[in-house]
Amino acid sequence: MKYKIRSYRYGELILVNEPKYKDKWEELLLAISSIKDSEIIEAHESNKRVPKGLSIALNKVLKEKLTSIGWIAESKIFNDNEYSNKSWRLDFANESMSIEVAFNHGEAIAWNLVKPTIASELNHVVKEIQTDIAIVICATKDLKTKGGFDGATGEFEKFERYLDPLRGLLTIPMVIIGLEAPETFIIEHETEGKNKRGIVKRI
């Protein structure tokens, strides 16, 4: 799978050059680039009720890829049961890096950026994990359109626009990875009762 990158506060430069991060960063990019269209289709069509878009399938494939190379899924930020629900968990983390996979509503963009920042900053609440740098994986506008995503999904290009206004809050190095659309198929919508299904159409 192809992707594009936006570096923030020298995030990409740090990941490429610092021995502490370099191997994990290269592993992550290799894992993303190894995602085949056939894997996405299989994950999409394996759902009991075929979803409207590819977000569920991509979440599933990414989880399989990342956990297989040592990333911890659903990692808690805080060591306090009051903050143990999903809102206070990272999608993936290792000893120094956090990943958020953000295929949700555009209104959640700010939180998707702030949450890994919280994981990397000191806090009044005792931390479960202390990371240094954040990676956010999202859909490009092209993937959003061709992958049948909901129109309200926050895409890569919107994430980029949030970085400067939130600069005072987003104090850590960060990289935004925008996943590109599949090359061999698109998703077309088919109405089934009150719902829409995403049907794979080869191109």
Mean per-residue pLDDT of the chain: 94
Over residues 56-101, the pLDDT tens digits come to 999 999 999 999 999 999 998 988 888 888 888 999 999 899 999 9
Q: How large a percentage of the chain has pLDDT more than 90?
A: 83
Sorted by where each begins, the domain ranges of the chain are: 3-202
User: What local confidence, expressed as pLDDT, does residue 82 receive?
Assistant: 86
Task: Kindly tell me if the per-residue pLDDT of 161 is higher than 90.
Answer: yes
User: What local confidence, expressed as pLDDT, does residue 125 receive?
Assistant: 79
Q: Is the domain 3-202 a CATH 2.40.400.10 member?
A: no
CA-based nearest residue to 136, from 40, 46, 6, 27: 6
How much is the pTM?
0.95
- The mean pLDDT value for 106-132 works out to 89
CA-based nearest residue to 91, from 58, 59, 43, 132: 59
Task: Kindly tell me if the per-residue pLDDT of 126 is higher than 80.
Answer: no
Cα-based angle 8, 106, 126 (whole degrees, multiple of 5): 60
User: Cβ distance 103 to 148 under 8 Å?
Assistant: no
User: What local confidence, expressed as pLDDT, does residue 154 receive?
Assistant: 97
User: What local confidence, expressed as pLDDT, does residue 133 receive?
Assistant: 97
Over residues 18-44, the pLDDT tens digits come to 999 999 999 999 999 999 999 999 999
CA-based nearest residue to 3, from 43, 34, 45, 24: 34
